[in-house]
Amino acid sequence: MSQQMTPVVLIFILLSGILSFVVLYNLTNINISERIRELSTIKVLGFFDREVTMYIARENIVLAIIGIIVGFGFGNLLTAYVLYQAETPTVVFPLTIHIQWYFVATILMILFNLIVIMVAHRHLKRVDMVEALKSNE
């Protein structure tokens, strides 16, 4: 049964990775869109593009660290609950999550965060400061 479940588990892992990347990307875009006037003002004051990007990146990194820590805790609880609900009198699923998977998840989230920051940097470099400052809220 284990060999039959492997492709299903891999598909779930792939889809959850894609979902986490899309959510992180979308939240970063919303953050930038809502604060475009503030970011344009910072650029007009003389900040370099890289400094403006790091302004956003620091927030993403802090939120990612908090999300990873909270996610590990709630992920364990959710996994235990799902496995408990899936038990039958003939089938029992053990709750074993090896420490290596925590490292893999952390590395993937860091990688996704870096990719999103690079995309945000490209977006922030192309912001028309004058147009952004002229726009009314």
Give the closest residue to 21 by CA, choosing from 32, 10, 11, 13.
13
- Would 47 be classed as within a structural domain? yes
- Would 7 be classed as within a structural domain? no
Within 13 A of 38's CA, how many CA atoms are on the CB side?
Answer: 8
Tally of domains within the chain:
1
Q: Between 136 and 129, name the one with better pLDDT.
A: 129
pTM: 0.79
Q: Which residue range forms the structural domain that includes residue 60? A: 19-132
pLDDT tens-place string over residues 32-87: 988 888 888 888 888 888 999 998 999 999 999 999 999 999 999 999 999 899 88
In the block, residue with structure tokens 């060999």: 3
Note the residue count of the chain.
137
- Would 10 be classed as within a structural domain? no
